[in-house]
Amino acid sequence: MGKKRALISVYDKRGIVDFARELVQKHDYEIISTGGTYETLKENGIESIEIADVTGFPELLGGKVKTLHPRVFAGILASRTHQDEINEIKEKDIQPVDMVVVNLYPFEEASKDFYMEIQSLIQFIDIGGVSLLRAAAKNFFYVTPVYSPDLYDKVLKELEENIGNTTYELRKELAINTFQYTSTYDAIISEQFYVRTAAISMDQMPEIFNLALKKKQELRYGENPHQKAALYKSHLNVDFELLHGKELSYNNLVDLTSALNIVSEFIDVPAACIIKHNNPCGVALGENITNAYVKAFNCDPISAFGGIIGLNEPVTKEIAEYAKDIFLEVIVAPDFTEEALEILTAKKNLRLVKVPMSMLEYRYTQKFDIKNLPFGTLIQTTDNVELTKDNFNVVTSHKPTPEQVEDMVFAWKVVKHVGSNAIVVAKDKRILGIGMGQTSRIASMEIALSRACNETKDAVIASDGFFPAVDNIHAAAQARIGAIIQPGGSIKDKDVIDEAEKYNIAMICTGIRHFKH
């Protein structure tokens, strides 16, 4: 049947000239190419056959239709051992294709532009390329699919070692990876259509939810040493840089996410957070980021030992000076000053993680929460609901002071990130005490108040759920709490509000619950 044939049609032209030259000069391949790829090869002195000369049909619609033709796909899909198929393509003067080198329009990269209109984004959906790769992968017994420039060296090495042929084992491996590549590509398109056509705002969850995840790195172990783990990423996940320190562990990644989730609640004010075991032990706002860190650390200096620090502004030299004498696992922030890096990199194992994006952008990157259960997979939209004047309802005659209102908003933003049942006590835009993960709300209340000690006079309380009984109000009154913010919605609401009135505690009911399990 003559020379081996490679069909080359690539958007990403990295390395394609050298790869094609090796195919032609060393391994006697004949090349078919399309549009821009044909021009690139021609400019570099590599002879190839233009796709229109194979199909007998010019490219249409500005290049949208060029390879979708029986003469192309029959050449890729034909069996090399079934005589009837061999005879059929011979009769039609169709030559078999032995290698398909295709990478796709960069839909994933284009979709990162959240402001791109759907009409523009669909121009990045590859049709012919996906079809070519799937055809090659389906017929991997005879055809080599090559979907990335990163594979060129591997394929050339195989050709060199096998007299111009690829092995069955390589073709099988590439076929598996090709189907993963094309299915991921389609999953990303599906997700973007769902997100960008306002289906979420219409309270509709997708009928099919595809998780297009690629393994980013193997982790030493999972939550515990006997569990295996790896980090997988989708195209919408946030990028980060490990600037210094040991490899990030499973627990480190969970905790630094919690830290960033909290500080990203505060877009226009410096915020600092310290996390232990996926719950905050210190959170504060400050006049500047150093002040915020000091206030957060002083919330619970004992629990801060071995913690994860999260900041919504770059780490300063002053913060580094404070942090260098404490055992910490991770510091995560949008950036680090040079002076801060010089100080902190002296601690060999301290992990310094840079998340180079605005906290506003970070906050809205994750659109879904996902939990795997033995019974199926639970998917929900993330808890990003905002307080507005419509759900900031003062239900007592005693009104909160402006300072208490600010503290209530602060505490409310924090309590949504604390494991239920959750109670947060706050004053002067810093946490005084947190009660978390208890099976009764009064138990969480008592823990939070006990940790706040004698600082509770005129402080505020935020509760992630309603109060089922007046015992919580009694506890708050004994601690001389000034104001409470809670969802409301209990059948005991009237009793609870009346009790707050009795003790001159201002109360706001939001109508928004913030359970976290």
Q: Kindly list the catalytic residues.
A: 138, 277
Beta carbons within 8 Å of 317's beta carbon, 6+ residues apart = 337, 339, 340, 343
Q: Residue 331's closest CA among 297, 288, 287?
A: 297
Provide DSSP, 142-180. Answer: T-EEE--GGGHHHHHHHHHHTTT---HHHHHHHHHHHHH
Cα radius of gyration rounded to whole Å, the chain:
30
Q: Cβ-count burial of 380 within 10 angstroms (0-12 exposed, 13-18 middle, 19+ buried)?
A: exposed
How does DSSP assign 414-463, residue by residue?
A: HHTTSPSS-EEEEETTEEEEEE-S-SSHHHHHHHHHHHHGGG-TT-EEEE
Among 194, 70, 85, which Cα is nearest to 131's?
70
Strand partners, 217: 231
> DSSP string spanning 34-46?
-HHHHHHHHHTT-
Pairing, β 423-427 against β 460-463: antiparallel
Alpha-carbon span 426 to 476, nearest angstrom: 12
Q: How far apart are CA 315 and CA 206, in angstroms?
A: 40
Which among 374, 406, 360, 373 is positioned nearest to 387, based on CA atoms?
406
Pairing of strands 483-486, 460-463: parallel
Q: Nearest to residue 470, comparing CAs of 491, 453, 451?
A: 491
Q: At what angle do helices 16-27 and 35-43 cross, to 10 degrees?
A: 70
Beta bridge partners of 199: none
What is the sign of the dihedral through the CA atoms of 487, 490, 496 and 498? positive
What gap in Å lies between CA 133 and CA 394, rounded to an integer? 61
Q: Name 45's Cβ contacts closer than 8 Å, sequence gap at least 6.
A: none
Sign of the four-CA dihedral 472, 474, 480, 484: positive
Q: How many CB atoms lie within 10 A of CB 236?
A: 18
- One-letter amino acid for residue 42 of the chain: K
| Token reading at 470 | 């007046």
Nearest C-alpha neighbor of 262 from the set 401, 415, 443? 415
